[in-house]
Amino acid sequence: MTPAGAWTKAFAALLAALIVMPVLAAVPLAFSEQSFLRLPPHDWSLRWWNAFFADPSWLRALLTSLEVAALSCLLSVAAGTSAALGLTRLGPRMRALATGLFLGPMVAPVIVLAVGLYALARAAGLVGSAFGLVLAHTMLALPYVVLNVGVAVAALDPHLALAANGLGAGPWRVFRTITLPSILPGVIGGGVFASVTSFDEVVLAVFLAGPGVKTLPVRIWEEVRVEYTPVVAVAATIMIILAVLGSATGRLATRRAR
Amino acid sequence: MTAVAFRGIAKRFGALEALCPLDLDIASGEFVSFLGPSGSGKSTLLNICAGYVEPTAGALFVAGRDVTALPARRRNIGMVFQNYALFPHLDVFENVAYGLRVRKIAPAQIRRRVEEALGAVRLDGFERRSVLNLSGGQQQRVALARAMAIEPDILLMDEPLGALDKQLRKEVQIEIRRMHVARPRTTLYVTHDQEEALVMSDRIAVMRGGRLVQLGTARELYSRPADSFVARFLGESNLIGGRVAGLRDGRATLGAKGLAAPIEGHAGEGLRLGEAACALIRPEHVRPVAGGQRACVAERIFLGEIVALRLALPGGVELWSRLFSSDAPAGDQIEIGWDRERVSILPETS
């Protein structure tokens, strides 16, 4: 490869700024002294951090978010791993069809999903329940798990399972001792994607939220509509930190597993 | 005693007949190689034996027991794959111990048996090494130890040396032979390499197009091949095409274009008077004979103690001759002949 020229570098820097600036803009706002959102802040303080942690509704929203993310991560990893393994057993046409189905939630417009889900959830009495939201996020996160685990499964030598089977291991033992350890990086990667997807998802959460079930993004959304104070920047900063921590642990875990 | 018996075992994949109905008995402790080109059905046969592929018809008996409907994990069979199929996340010890752990054997005994198996393949002290850092030859020896540790009723090997380079192949080949001699286990060995089959086997089964063409010892196959395919597959051969001119008392004569006199030799099965056939004369049997057929040395390849000569006969027929370098003629002209007892007239296969 030839070294990048000045123009290429400038263009790359511009793109990077476009990606990073909106994310980083929230951080200084969280340490502002004023009661309104303005960049750059005049004075610095931890005033809004105190406000965030003093308000039980913010803390409850944070906990709900973590809870929903953890549960939908577990569910989508279990279902998505089974799906990725099952897909390899299908014939080429059925596999293409089933893969398309599994990846559907990733390409379908979220608002369309939300409208449909809302109608279904109302009929089933799941609006305003954490369980309904967990199910919805599981659906949304499933394609990421299927994709990540699918890559790991494709790299898996099919002879390994045959060898273990020939040595006397039943299907469950083969999965537990041979298949799972071999595809673990993909499973962890899928899990990280799933939790991050659930953690920052707002559209489905708005539709399915109730007084008892509000995730952090929903709480931010409500706050912004009523009064536009820097406490939302604090919530946003916390979300950024958690998301970065999540992906970093995922990265570390997959690297160790390899 | 019969260790493995195939009774009419056959396999179809859709319209493809991968294996035609096959009957075969393998004695306890016998080492049988299945030799053939790819697509000959030899791997299908092995996979049916292991329980990885279900036969379309027939029954398979191992030690007198019908195992046709038994899943692979209940057959107590040791399988060695071409690509080793070692478990990458486990060390050498745990790879070899895998089948023993499944069988819930006491830890102290597992330790003893793993050490024994690793000793048999000369990998003592490798217990805690990662299998990823071993050479190809070492990996295949771990795979061998893993298959043997469970004390299998039969040992199956599917081109186990296929992924190794030539030097290592020889090494592991001799290792497998040595282990078999020290402790004979019933072994089915699939290969497309004739030399491997010759070095290791008690008997060789030559396969082609889903059929067993010939089964016999290396010597039988080499000196009396069933047809021209087996003759070509095992060893070097001169095959001269022609028509059967005479057939009597197990002897046949072959009229060949370009040869003054018909060739006489041992008659193979399935010859018919007047039909196309070929004469097999092994290159080492084409020798200088005073007053024999005149030939011209067209090419001379020095192979150390042996020299290979390409000989052109006046009628346009070419023969290879392999002679000790000391017996080879110095000039371009040579008079040759062969012992008719060593010639076979064989049915031609395309």
Q: Does the pLDDT value for residue B216 go beyond 70?
A: yes
- The total domain count for chain A is 1
B103·A181 Cβ contact <8 A: no
Domain boundary among B178, B213, B228: B228
B85·A173 Cβ contact <8 A: no
Q: Which residues of chain A lie closer than 8 angstroms to B72, CB-CB? A: 162, 165-166
Cα(B310)–Cα(A94) distance, rounded to whole angstroms? Answer: 58
The first and second tokens of residue A218, run together, are 């929903």
Determine which of B43, B49, B73 to mutate to test the interface with A (most A C-beta atoms within 10 Å): B73
Maximum mean pLDDT: which of A63-77, A113-127, B285-299: A63-77
Q: Does the pLDDT value for residue A228 go beyond 80?
A: no
Q: Report the CATH number that the domain containing residue A170 is assigned in CATH.
A: 1.10.3720.10
Maximum mean pLDDT: which of A75-84, A102-111, B187-196, B224-233: A75-84
Q: What is the mean pLDDT of residues B18-36?
A: 93
The first and second tokens of residue B143, run together, are 């795979």
Q: Which residues of chain A lie closer than 8 angstroms to B157, CB-CB? A: none
How far is the alpha carbon of B102 from chain A, nearest alpha carbon, in Å? 6
How far is the alpha carbon of B82 from chain A, nearest alpha carbon, in Å? 10
Q: With contact defined as beta carbons under 8 Å apart, do B160 and B173 qualify?
A: no
A·B CB contacts under 8 A: 55
How far is the alpha carbon of A93 from chain B, nearest alpha carbon, in Å? 17
Of the candidate ranges A181-195, A201-215, B42-56, B74-88, the one whose mean pLDDT is the lowest: A201-215
Measuring CA to CA, how many Å separate B116 from each of B77, B93, B109, B146? 19, 11, 10, 11
Q: With contact defined as beta carbons under 8 Å apart, do A186 and A152 qualify?
A: yes
Is B263 found in the same domain as B156?
no
Angle between helices A231-257 and A47-54 (to 10 degrees): 80
Is position A17 within any domain?
Answer: no
Cα(B291)–Cα(B334) distance, rounded to whole angstroms? Answer: 10
The first and second tokens of residue B327, run together, are 């017996």
CB-count exposure of residue B54 (10 Å: 0-12, 13-18, 19+): exposed
Q: What is the mean pLDDT of residues B133-154?
A: 92
Q: Which residues of chain A lie closer than 8 angstroms to B89, CB-CB? A: 181-182
Residue of B nearest to A159 (CA): B85
Angle between helices B136-149 and B92-102 (to 10 degrees): 20
Cα(B88)–Cα(B274) distance, rounded to whole angstroms? Answer: 61
How far is the alpha carbon of A164 from chain B, nearest alpha carbon, in Å? 8
Is position A140 within any domain?
Answer: yes
Q: Does the pLDDT value for residue A1 go beyond 70?
A: no
The first and second tokens of residue B50, run together, are 């292991």
Q: Which residues of chain B lie closer than 8 angstroms to A173, CB-CB? A: 102
| Residue, of A44 and A163, whose pLDDT is higher | A163
Is B201 found in the same domain as B190?
yes
Cα(A31)–Cα(B12) distance, rounded to whole angstroms? Answer: 73
Of the candidate ranges B70-84, B207-221, B316-330, the one whose mean pLDDT is the lowest: B316-330
Is position A196 within any domain?
Answer: yes
Predicted local confidence at residue A21, as pLDDT: 86
- The total domain count for chain B is 2
Find tokens 């061998």 and name the residue: B144
Interface of A with B (CB under 8 A): 157, 159-160, 162-170, 173, 177-178, 181-182
Is B36 found in the same domain as B62?
yes
Cα(A254)–Cα(A186) distance, rounded to whole angstroms? Answer: 8
ipTM of the complex: 0.82
Q: For chain A, how far is it from start to end, CA to CA, in angstroms?
A: 29
Is position A133 within any domain?
Answer: yes
For B56-77, the pLDDT digits (tens) are 999 999 988 999 999 999 999 9
* Dihedral sign of CA atoms B340, B342, B345, B348 in order: negative
Domain boundary among B228, B245, B270: B228
How far is the alpha carbon of B100 from chain A, nearest alpha carbon, in Å? 8
Predicted local confidence at residue A257, as pLDDT: 55
Cα(B314)–Cα(B332) distance, rounded to whole angstroms? Answer: 13
Q: Which domain holds residue B265?
A: 229-347
Predicted local confidence at residue A256, as pLDDT: 63
Q: Does the pLDDT value for residue A3 go beyond 70?
A: yes
Q: Does the pLDDT value for residue A42 go beyond 80?
A: no
Is B150 found in the same domain as B75?
yes
Is B189 found in the same domain as B56?
yes
Is position A194 within any domain?
Answer: yes
Q: With contact defined as beta carbons under 8 Å apart, do B317 and B240 qualify?
A: yes
Question: HEC profile for chain B?
Answer: CEEEEEEEEEEEECCEEEEEEEEEEEECCCEEEEECCCCCCHHHHHHHHHCCCCCCEEEEEECCEECCCCCHHHCCEEEECCCCCCCCCCEHHHHHHHHHHHCCCCHHHHHHHHHHHHHHCCCCCCCCCEHHHCCHHHHHHHHHHHHHHCCCCEEEEECCCCCCCHHHHHHHHHHHHHHHHHCCCCEEEEECCHHHHHHHCCEEEEEECCEEEEEECHHHHHHCCCCHHHHHHCCCCEEEEEEEEEEECCEEEEECCCCCCCEEEEECCCCCCCCEEEEEECHHHCEEEEEEEEEEEEEEEEECCEEEEEEECCCCCEEEEEEEHHHCCCCCEEEEECCHHHCEEEECCC
Is B201 found in the same domain as B309?
no
Is B253 found in the same domain as B204?
no
Q: Which residues of chain A lie closer than 8 angstroms to B79, CB-CB? A: 162-163, 166
Domain boundary among B228, B252, B270: B228
Closest CA to B287 of B248, B240, B247, B335: B335
Predicted local confidence at residue A144, as pLDDT: 93
B87·A166 Cβ contact <8 A: no
The first and second tokens of residue A83, run together, are 């799906």
The first and second tokens of residue A1, run together, are 């490869």
Secondary structure (DSSP) of chain A: -PPP-HHHHHHHHHHHHHHHHHHHHHHHHHTBSSSS--SS-SSB-SHHHHHHHH-HHHHHHHHHHHHHHHHHHHHHHHHHHHHHHHHTTS-HHHHHHHHHHHHHHHHS-HHHHHHHHHHHHHHHT-TT-HHHHHHHHHHHHHHHHHHHHHHHHHTS-HHHHHHHHHTT--HHHHIIIIIHHHHHHHHHHHHHHHHHHHHT--HHHHHH--SS---HHHHHHHHHHH---THHHHHHHHHHHHHHHHHHHHHHHHHHH-
Determine which of B89, B95, B154 to mutate to test the interface with A (most A C-beta atoms within 10 Å): B89
Residue B202: band (very low, low, confident or very high) from pLDDT cuts 50, 70, 90? very high
Nearest beta carbon to residue B85 from set A163, A168, A173: A163
Predicted local confidence at residue A178, as pLDDT: 95
Q: Report the CATH number that the domain containing residue B76 is assigned in CATH.
A: 3.40.50.300
Q: In what order do the strands lie in the sheet with B318-324?
A: B318-324, B306-312, B287-303, B333-337
B81·A168 Cβ contact <8 A: no
How far is the alpha carbon of A196 from chain B, nearest alpha carbon, in Å? 28
Residue of B nearest to A161 (CA): B85
Maximum mean pLDDT: which of A249-253, B16-20, B201-205: B201-205
β-pair partners for B31: B187
Is position A237 within any domain?
Answer: yes
B98·A160 Cβ contact <8 A: no
B74·A170 Cβ contact <8 A: no
Q: Does the pLDDT value for residue B274 go beyond 90?
A: no
Is B195 found in the same domain as B295?
no
Q: Report the CATH number that the domain containing residue B287 is assigned in CATH.
A: 2.40.50
Peptide bond into A40 cis (omega under 30): yes
Q: Which residues of chain B lie closer than 8 angstroms to A160, CB-CB? A: 85, 87
Residue A179 CB partners (closer than 8 Å, separation 6+): A85, A156, A160, A161
How far is the alpha carbon of A170 from chain B, nearest alpha carbon, in Å? 7
Cα(A103)–Cα(A4) distance, rounded to whole angstroms? Answer: 36
Is B236 found in the same domain as B220?
no
Find tokens 């001792």 and name the residue: A177
Is position A54 within any domain?
Answer: yes
- How many percent of chain B have pLDDT more than 90? 53
Predicted local confidence at residue A176, as pLDDT: 94
Q: Which residues of chain A lie closer than 8 angstroms to B98, CB-CB? A: 164, 167, 169, 177
Residue of A nearest to B151 (CA): A167
β-pair partners for B11: B19
β-pair partners for B238: B281
Q: What is the mean pLDDT of residues B88-100?
A: 95
Q: Does the pLDDT value for residue B337 go beyond 80?
A: yes
Interface of B with A (CB under 8 A): 50-52, 71-79, 81, 83, 85, 87-89, 98-99, 102-103, 146, 150
Predicted local confidence at residue A45, as pLDDT: 80
Cα(A159)–Cα(B81) distance, rounded to whole angstroms? Answer: 8
Q: What is the mean pLDDT of chain A?
A: 88
Q: Which residues of chain B lie closer than 8 angstroms to A181, CB-CB? A: 89
For A10-29, the pLDDT digits (tens) are 999 999 999 888 888 888 88
- How many percent of chain A have pLDDT more than 90? 38
Q: Which residues of chain B lie closer than 8 angstroms to A178, CB-CB? A: 87
Is position A29 within any domain?
Answer: no
Is B233 found in the same domain as B134?
no
How far is the alpha carbon of A69 from chain B, nearest alpha carbon, in Å? 30
| Residue, of A137 and A257, whose pLDDT is higher | A137
Q: Does the pLDDT value for residue A258 go beyond 60?
A: no
Q: Does the pLDDT value for residue A50 go beyond 80?
A: yes
Find tokens 């080879």 and name the residue: B328
Cα(B90)–Cα(B95) distance, rounded to whole angstroms? Answer: 6
CA angle B167, B174, B218 (to 5 degrees): 110
Phi, psi of B55 (to 5 degrees): -70, 150
Q: Which residues of chain A lie closer than 8 angstroms to B77, CB-CB? A: 166
Neighbours of A203 (CB within 10 A): 19
Nearest beta carbon to residue B83 from set A159, A164, A165: A159
Q: With contact defined as beta carbons under 8 Å apart, do B58 and B9 qualify?
A: yes
Is B249 found in the same domain as B139?
no
A169·B74 Cβ contact <8 A: no
Is B260 found in the same domain as B213?
no
Q: Which domain holds residue A63?
A: 43-257
| Residue, of A34 and B206, whose pLDDT is higher | B206
For B148-178, the pLDDT digits (tens) are 999 999 999 999 988 888 888 888 888 888 8
Q: Does the pLDDT value for residue B106 go beyond 90?
A: yes
Q: What is the mean pLDDT of chain B?
A: 90
